[in-house]
Amino acid sequence: MTERVLRLAAIGGDGIGPEVVAATLPVLAAAVEGGGGTLVVSDLDWGGERYLRTGEVAPADAPDIVRNFDAVLFGAVGRYDVPDDIPVWDLVIRLRQGLQLAVNVRPVHAFPGVPSPVRDVEGVDFVVVRENTEGEYAGIGGRAHGGTGAEIAVEVAVHSAAAIRRVAGYAFQEARRRSAPLVAVSKSNAMRHGYALWDQVVAEVAAGFPDVAWERVFVDAMAARMIERPRSLGVVLASNLFGDILSDLGAVLGGGLGMAPSANICADGSGVGLFEPVHGSAPDIAGSGAANPLGCVLSGAMLLDHTGFAAAAARVRDAVAVTVADLTARTPDIGGRATTAQVAARLLDAVTARRRPARSERDSVGRPGLTAREAGTRAGMTQTPDAEDQPDRATTVGETGGLPGRNAAPEASQLSEDEMADTVSGAGPAGGTAADEPESSTAGNG
Ligand SMILES: NC(=O)c1ccc[n+]([C@@H]2O[C@H](COP(=O)([O-])OP(=O)(O)OC[C@H]3O[C@@H](n4cnc5c(N)ncnc54)[C@H](O)[C@@H]3O)[C@@H](O)[C@H]2O)c1
């Protein structure tokens, strides 16, 4: 049987980013190993600390470097001593634009019992599909008359029919896959050019999906609806700015920013995806052990799905469901007292439960406070040094070929029996279908 190898670039970044990535990697490694595969990880030291040290957040050819991997797991960037726009533009947006990651997928799933400031979130399960390369984040604009007291700034929102078409096509496909209604977010009543084009192109794309019920909702009304009737939502299609804001609001329904995963992918599923929690670097809690790693872990599950490790993804989601149901394994943001490391240990215990041979091994793998590197090594994860320090190694990874097809169902011959059995059993909690009983059926074609 062919051994399947998943080659990851891991970018911890700043603040809690490295903490949640360190908690995630052993879980992914154990899940992949549970299906007979191997996870090979290269740590990339990109982020604010590198900027302070070298003057650059990431190498100029960062997109080319990560193309040598199957996928990227990313924590977050941002530090108090580095202007916020530098790491976001020089790393996050550079990778999204450079790799043409046109679609940002942000699922919102309310796990049973996880507290939310919103009173009734039971059964909430929808996905925000956000345009990821242009809109208000195109980077076009400028400032003039600085220091005169009459400074002006121009930020140009760019909307192209091509980008709207590709993200809308993805969103309608997703709605069809979920048998769920779609809401297209707009603001064409006030912004008469860019969002009028959105309305037009979305309607054109919708015509190709007569089986998908859809409606247009203005972004302000959408914010209210996400709180008032979140179960009426299946797929939310939004521009870059609107999707960014609404998905943070959505995260609150699922227990907060610490619970929210995301995937940055090409619209056709090809290429290298970037998987990251929705939250930022949370410098206010960095180093305190209070960071909730579950958003990052669920991003890892999306990564596994995207790279053809569906059974491993299901194992990770199952482990998250088990962990959040354990009141002693919740971080403070979701009402618990556990540390990041304790949650990580609980996750690892859950994901390895099925194949646990002996008590002594369980204790050595799952004890709280285990570092990712220790736990990863024991769980079968191979850590490699920074790819830039190991150019030969990175090149070798890119040239080996024969990597598992990205976003493609793996060949049956590549799967172990365990993988095949689990693939048939389907996705876990955060990867399921949209709410079965929408509160409203007002969505209609047109
Ligand atoms: N993709 C990215 O790397 C990204 C995204 C957003 C913000 N940022 C950057 O992060 C920095 C902080 O930004 P912010 O404060 O606006 O947003 P943030 O998401 O970092 O934090 C917002 C609040 O949520 C809490 N929080 C976030 N993640 C959490 C987790 N996993 N567990 C528990 N609590 C969590 C924080 O403690 C904070 O109170 C800034 O420098 C910003 O530019 C980076």
Question: What is the pLDDT, as a whole number, of residue 340?
Answer: 98
Least reliable range by pLDDT among 108-122, 205-219, 398-412: 398-412
Question: What is the pLDDT, as a whole number, of residue 291?
Answer: 98
Averaged pLDDT, 222-235? 97
Asked if pLDDT for residue 213 goes beyond 90, the answer is yes
Active site residue 187: yes
- Would you say residue 137 lies in a domain? no
Number of domains forming the structure of the chain: 1
- Would you say residue 124 lies in a domain? no
- Would you say residue 323 lies in a domain? yes
- Would you say residue 173 lies in a domain? no
- Would you say residue 338 lies in a domain? yes
Active site residue 199: no
The catalytic position among 244, 305, 318, 422 is: 244
Residue of 104, 279, 331, 343 to mutate, ligand 1, most atoms within 8 A of C-beta: 279
Question: What is the pLDDT, as a whole number, of residue 355?
Answer: 55
- pTM of this structure: 0.81
Asked if pLDDT for residue 131 goes beyond 70, the answer is yes
Question: What is the pLDDT, as a whole number, of residue 397?
Answer: 25
Reference 387, options 127, 65, 54; nearest CA is 65
Active site residue 195: no
Least reliable range by pLDDT among 43-57, 83-97, 165-179: 83-97
pLDDT category at 284 given cuts 50, 70, 90 is very high
pLDDT in tens, 376-418: 333 333 444 333 333 323 322 222 222 223 333 333 333 333 3
**Tokens linked to 120:** 């009734």
DSSP line for 152-172? EEEEEEE--HHHHHHHHHHHH
Residue 112: which residues within 8 A CB-CB, separation 6 or more? 122, 325
pLDDT in tens, 68-101: 999 999 999 999 999 999 999 899 989 988 999 9
What CATH number did the domain enclosing 275 receive? 3.40.718.10
Ligand 1 closest atom vs CA 91: 3
Averaged pLDDT, 345-361? 72
Least reliable range by pLDDT among 93-107, 203-217, 242-256, 359-373: 359-373
Q: Number of C-alpha atoms within 13 angstroms, CB side, residue 16?
A: 27
pLDDT category at 338 given cuts 50, 70, 90 is very high
Asked if pLDDT for residue 438 goes beyond 60, the answer is no
pLDDT category at 3 given cuts 50, 70, 90 is low
Question: What is the pLDDT, as a whole number, of residue 353?
Answer: 85
Least reliable range by pLDDT among 30-34, 229-233, 370-374: 370-374
Question: Which single residue is written with the structure tokens 């599909």?
Answer: 129
- Would you say residue 204 lies in a domain? no
For residue 426, the tally of other CB atoms under 10 A from its CB is 12
**Separation of alpha carbons 291 and 318, rounded Å:** 21
The catalytic position among 14, 51, 187, 349 is: 187
Tell me the residue range of the domain where 352 lies: 1-101+271-408+442-446
Asked if pLDDT for residue 325 goes beyond 80, the answer is yes
Residue of 257, 264, 298 to mutate, ligand 1, most atoms within 8 A of C-beta: 257
- Would you say residue 233 lies in a domain? no
Pocket of ligand 1 (CB under 6 A): 16, 20, 76-78, 84, 88, 92, 257-258, 276, 279-285, 291-292, 295, 333
Question: What is the pLDDT, as a whole number, of residue 50?
Answer: 95
Averaged pLDDT, 307-312? 96
Reference 127, options 270, 298, 309, 273; nearest CA is 298
Asked if pLDDT for residue 235 goes beyond 90, the answer is yes
- Would you say residue 143 lies in a domain? no
Asked if pLDDT for residue 263 goes beyond 90, the answer is yes
Reference 171, options 354, 434, 421; nearest CA is 434
Strands 152-158 and 135-144: antiparallel
Q: Compute the mean pLDDT over every residue in the chain, rounded to the nearest whole number.
A: 83
